[in-house]
Amino acid sequence: MTGSSQDAQPKPARLAALLIDASMEAVSTAGGHAGGVYLRSSTPGLLRLAVLAGLPGPLFRPWWRLHADRPFPVADAHRLGVQVVLPNATETMRRYPQFAAGLPFQFGSLYVPVVAGSDLYGVLTVLRPSVQDAAEVLPECDRLARLGQDLGAALRNLDDEAAPVAWDDEPLCVRPPAPRPPLARIGRFVWTPETGLVTGDEGLHTLLGVPPTEFTGAVEAFADAVAPSEANRILLALRDTAVGRPPTLPLYLRTTDGELRLMDLWSPYEATGWHPNDPAAPAAPPTTPPGPGPVRGIVLDPGLHATADAAADLLPDGVFCLDREGLIVYANPRAAQLLRRPPTELLGRALWDAVPWLGRPDVEDHLRGALLSPDPVHFHVERPAANAAEPVSLPSEGDWLALAVHPGPDRLTCTVRPASRVADTAPAETPADGLATPAPVYRPIVLAIALTEAVTARQVSAVVMRELLPAFGGRRLAIYLLQDRHLWLAWESGFPPGFLAPFEGVGLDERLPGVETLTTGRPLFFDSMQQLAAAYPGIQLDASEGARAFLPLIASGRSVGSCILGFDRARSFSGEERTVLTALAGLIAHAMEKAQRYENEAALARGLQQALLPRRLSSHPQVETAGRYLPGTQGMDVGGDWYDVVESGDGIALVIGDVQGHGVQAAATMGQLRTAVRAFALSDRPPDEVMSGTNHLLMDLDPGLFASCCYIRLDPATGVALAARAGHLPPLLRQADGRTHALDLAGGVVLGVDGRARYPVTELRMEPGAILALYTDGLVEKPGDDIDDGISALRVALARAGAPAVRPGGRALAGVADRLTTTARHAVDRPDDIALLLATRRTAR
């Protein structure tokens, strides 16, 4: 691709191409089997995984986001601007125990900052085989450092003040270059019976090892070159195909060296859609060819993989293979039978999509181990009961399968067999009561990592439901939180409708297991409902016969609540399981306590923001205005967007702004800026002085944040407007006849960056019936899309929204504002807050 064509690409596409190329080169340069790029996020202090090469993205979801102050190698490389070299697992555990606990596998890793001068963009990382000493990988580190500097320079060229380089989307998962060229080779040919000659492409001559200058074209010579010992069989197949009687295809042929070759042929009749062996075909083709026609075909040398796969098809055990992105590239018939999926639903799909019941945290953990370390892993997994609708069922076989995963340079080879047939693998864990629990105990650190991503009580509960229950075979979950010496239900799943209602708001003096586990601080385990009923006579029970675990949620000695785990069947809890569940309860309690603090802060921020936003907009007889504000649905849910309408002399000032970041500080800074702008506007200062004065105020406050702003002073009598812009998006103007365009306003840098910044003023005119639209980036920006496309979409929506009533007293502008924010208002995932301000001139009375 030429430089000019790259420059013509949208910025997100150029950014993705740069990051993918750098990741691929990093893996190759450092001799790794996987790598990627972490990039700074638009959220201060947060790094996001932008590209992951050579590993399945879903298996590494807990590491998609990292805070720059966390004790992780990526964070250190970014925050300190230094290389981090971890040659092996021992060194990783010594220097970064929390990171090593989450990925306790035998691999080494390298991390170099992506820099350009004083600008830190992110970190380039490579995962590679372990070595004894860091000195062994210093040459690779030097090459990787140069690559990081080159990437930083390229990112600086993309950087600009209005849209700095950042990554806020999910990572791009890509496949690194193959370690060796593909083994399969293919050649195409055409045989013309009338002349007896064969013509082939370059691939055919390469496959047969016969240069075009030495190839006579005779069909006999061709057959002899493909498979000398089976030349007569090839000639017969060609003749039969030419008259519409092809043999069973493809032909499996052997060379003199015993290597496998495949040949497939196409009859001249196939162009008519008729075939003599088709029972549904008419007695004769629609147009009978005048004799034998040309035969097209291919010769395929599949290489060693085909021979191995053909042999694996005959094995009594299930065998399937995954590439390093988790896609199933091979499955023998026995594997399809044991996994209860036909081969067509396995091949080419991710394992956890093709076989959803393998998408469990403990299975994912084993797959991570096989992808990151050289040693095979062995584990057991429970297979759910066969569904009558499934194409394959094995009622005679057990509920457990034994799996072994063997790592390879470019794919994983997995064997699967019924657990009852396993005689040569390590025995399953056996608790004191003798009941086997083949599933490995889930590592608490994995849940801990997932909990770091949860910031609300509902998110914490959802993580517990997703990560904890499957590891122990649980089916029901209830989490109660303590408030005013009463327990209130925060989350429930799996219980019969209404069953938990009588327990809502119970006091701490009630004799209930969920209360007593909290007041005593001791977990309670019941192997069956009969045990529970015997310990608590008269307690309300559901219809299940399963076990129950009641866990106290206590964080730093403070009672937070209690957690109830329910199981469909009776079971016992081993000593190790009881210890792990108790430890997990502590993690859940700390996460819940953090969530409560977060929600209290969010409530404070929302209250502060509501207090700072205008309750009503200043009015004027000749101007109608309408404003809308929508908080984001991620994180703190509050930000620094604001709008305002202020009386300014004999006119009005239209204001919109956006403070960087979210939370209490962003909302407080927004309030200070709004107050400053109002004060300047009420004194009827020119727009450039309003912007400069507000800029100086923000510099003096020094909150560590910057803000964009657009200020327009409108004379309602004449329609003349004077506008100044500080790094904000261009307003839109819809004329009364429906023509809509973005206003090309001169502007300065965002507020709070340069105390000497100047903000030029642009004059424009609004005719009666025209609509002026001011907005913040949350309305037009989507992750992965160019913001210019979002502005264009808003412009089209405004043009189609219809003209408001322009007579005195008309209030149709509110409907236009609602239509422009409809899609955003109903979006479940809204990463940023949104502000919109519309204004239109009415006709004079």
pLDDT given for residue 568 in this prediction:
81
pLDDT given for residue 126 in this prediction:
94
User: What is the Cα–Cα distance from 185 to 797, expressed in whole angstroms?
Assistant: 53
Which structure tokens are listed for 698? 């923000």
Which structure tokens are listed for 71? 């004790």
Which structure tokens are listed for 5? 């064509």
Paired with 323 in beta bridges are 411
Whether pLDDT at 282 is above 60: no
pLDDT given for residue 348 in this prediction:
78
Least Cα distance to 462 among 493, 426, 498, 419 occurs for 493
pLDDT given for residue 32 in this prediction:
87
Burial of 287 (0-12, 13-18, 19+ CB in 10 A): exposed
Whether pLDDT at 583 is above 80: no
Least Cα distance to 438 among 378, 496, 515 occurs for 378
**What single string gives the DSSP state of each residue in 585-627?**
HHHHHHHHHHHHHHHHHHHHHHHHHHHHS-SS---BTTEEEEE
pLDDT given for residue 809 in this prediction:
44
Give residue-wise pLDDT tens across range 321-332.
888 888 888 888
Give residue-wise pLDDT tens across range 386-429.
654 444 434 334 478 889 898 877 788 898 988 753 333 333 33
Least Cα distance to 584 among 432, 454, 471 occurs for 471
Residues of the chain above pLDDT 70, percent: 80
Which structure tokens are listed for 728? 């904000």
In this structure, which long-range contacts are made by residues 486-489, counting pairs with CB atoms below 8 Å and at least 24 apart in sequence? Answer: 487/514, 487/515, 487/518, 487/561, 487/562
CA distances, 407 to each of 89, 369, 370 (Å): 17, 9, 6
Q: Which residue has the higher pLDDT, 450 or 687?
A: 687
Asked if residues 659 and 671 have their Cβ atoms less than 8 Å apart, the reply is no
- Cα angle 768, 772, 774 (rounded to 5 degrees) comes to 165
User: What is the Cα–Cα distance from 231 to 223, expressed in whole angstroms?
Assistant: 5
Average the pLDDT over each of 124-128, 180-184, 310-314, 406-410 and give the range with the smallest value: 180-184
- Cα angle 818, 824, 827 (rounded to 5 degrees) comes to 130
User: What is the Cα–Cα distance from 171 to 51, expressed in whole angstroms?
Assistant: 5
Model confidence pTM above 0.85 = no
User: What is the Cα–Cα distance from 666 to 43, expressed in whole angstroms?
Assistant: 12
User: What is the Cα–Cα distance from 532 to 542, expressed in whole angstroms?
Assistant: 11
Asked if residues 422 and 402 have their Cβ atoms less than 8 Å apart, the reply is yes
User: What is the Cα–Cα distance from 18 to 41, expressed in whole angstroms?
Assistant: 17
Q: How many residues does the chain have?
A: 845
pLDDT given for residue 656 in this prediction:
95
Strands (E), 356-514: 377-382, 400-406, 411-418, 476-483, 486-493, 506-507
User: What is the Cα–Cα distance from 173 to 327, expressed in whole angstroms?
Assistant: 12
pLDDT given for residue 589 in this prediction:
84
Paired with 761 in beta bridges are 724
CA distances, 418 to each of 142, 335, 626, 700 (Å): 49, 11, 67, 71
> 15: number of CA atoms within 13 Å, CB side?
27
How many other CB atoms are found less than 10 A from the CB of residue 683? 12
Asked if residues 295 and 238 have their Cβ atoms less than 8 Å apart, the reply is yes
* Residue whose entry in the numeric block shows the structure tokens 């590239």: 329
Average the pLDDT over each of 168-177, 543-552, 664-673, 774-783 and give the range with the smallest value: 664-673
Give residue-wise pLDDT tens across range 712-767.
999 998 999 999 999 999 999 999 888 999 998 988 899 988 888 999 999 999 99
Most confident of 86-100, 321-335, 623-637, 805-819: 321-335
Most confident of 269-283, 357-371, 431-445, 640-654: 640-654
Paired with 378 in beta bridges are 404
- What is the signed CA dihedral for 736, 742, 746, 752, rounded to 10 degrees? 120
Query: 409: cis peptide before it, omega within 30°?
Result: no
Task: Write the CB contacts of 293 (distance below 8 Å, at least 6 apart in sequence).
Answer: 193, 242, 267, 268, 269
The order of strands in the sheet holding 771-775 is 623-630, 834-841, 771-775, 732-734, 740-742
Kind and range of the H or E run holding 539: none
pLDDT given for residue 836 in this prediction:
93
Read off the pLDDT band of 287 (50, 70, 90). Answer: very low
Which structure tokens are listed for 709? 């702003």
- What is the signed CA dihedral for 597, 599, 604, 607, rounded to 10 degrees? -170
Q: Which residue has the higher pLDDT, 78 or 542?
A: 78
User: What is the Cα–Cα distance from 833 to 656, expressed in whole angstroms?
Assistant: 13
Per DSSP, 729 falls in state P
CA 177 to chain CA centroid, Å, is 22
Per DSSP, 428 falls in state P
Which structure tokens are listed for 216? 């006579």
Q: Which residue has the higher pLDDT, 283 or 97?
A: 97
Task: Write the CB contacts of 672 (distance below 8 Å, at least 6 apart in sequence).
Answer: 697, 701
Average pLDDT over every residue of 207-219: 88
Which structure tokens are listed for 750? 């965002």
Which structure tokens are listed for 668? 């407080």
Q: For the chain, what is the mean pLDDT?
A: 80
Whether pLDDT at 101 is above 70: no
Read off the pLDDT band of 276 (50, 70, 90). Answer: very low
Per DSSP, 485 falls in state T
Give residue-wise pLDDT tens across range 46-55.
899 999 988 8
Give residue-wise pLDDT tens across range 137-194.
888 888 999 999 999 999 988 887 667 889 988 899 887 665 544 445 778 899 999 8
pLDDT given for residue 392 in this prediction:
41
Asked if residues 19 and 40 have their Cβ atoms less than 8 Å apart, the reply is no
Dmax (CA) for the chain in angstroms is 102
- What is the signed CA dihedral for 616, 619, 623, 627, rounded to 10 degrees? -10
**What single string gives the DSSP state of each residue in 364-383?**
HHHHHHHHHSSS-EEEEEEP
Q: Which residue has the higher pLDDT, 588 or 719?
A: 719
* Residue whose entry in the numeric block shows the structure tokens 């008259």: 243
User: What is the Cα–Cα distance from 243 to 791, expressed in whole angstroms?
Assistant: 63
Most confident of 132-141, 637-646, 759-768: 759-768
> Are β-strands 639-648 and 506-507 bridged in parallel, bridged antiparallel, or unpaired?
unpaired
How many other CB atoms are found less than 10 A from the CB of residue 71? 11
